Amino acid sequence: MSRDGERLIETVNELGSRIGHLLSDMVPPAAQVHLLNAQRELITALMLMYEHRVTATPGGRRRAAANGARRAPAQRRPSKRVGKIPID
């Protein structure tokens, strides 16, 4: 991982820590656990997007497209989530 990526992780973690300390008196413990899990998932998603951008080939061309290979168009699947998710 590059030094920029490490700095990004440190900055996001520091920001999350500061916000967590500010909200710890107002937010119930169960909600704090939920928010910490969401924070972890967000940081993971941001890092994956960052790494994808850093390691992407210049010009945005895929290898398959460069080799002349074609893929069938992706079919969209209907969402399995039908209703709202209850939050306790």
pLDDT tens digits, residue range 18-73? 877 877 778 888 888 888 889 889 888 888 888 888 887 766 555 555 555 566 67
User: Which pLDDT value is given to residue 87?
Assistant: 81
- Structural domain contains residue 63: no
- Domain total of the chain: 1
Dump the DSSP string for the chain.
Answer: --HHHHHHHHHHHHHHHHHHHHHTTTS-HHHHHHHHHHHHHHHHHHHHHHHHHHHSPGGG--HHHHTT---PPPPPPPPS--SPPP--
Which residues form the domain of 28? 3-57
- Structural domain contains residue 79: no
User: Which pLDDT value is given to residue 59?
Assistant: 65
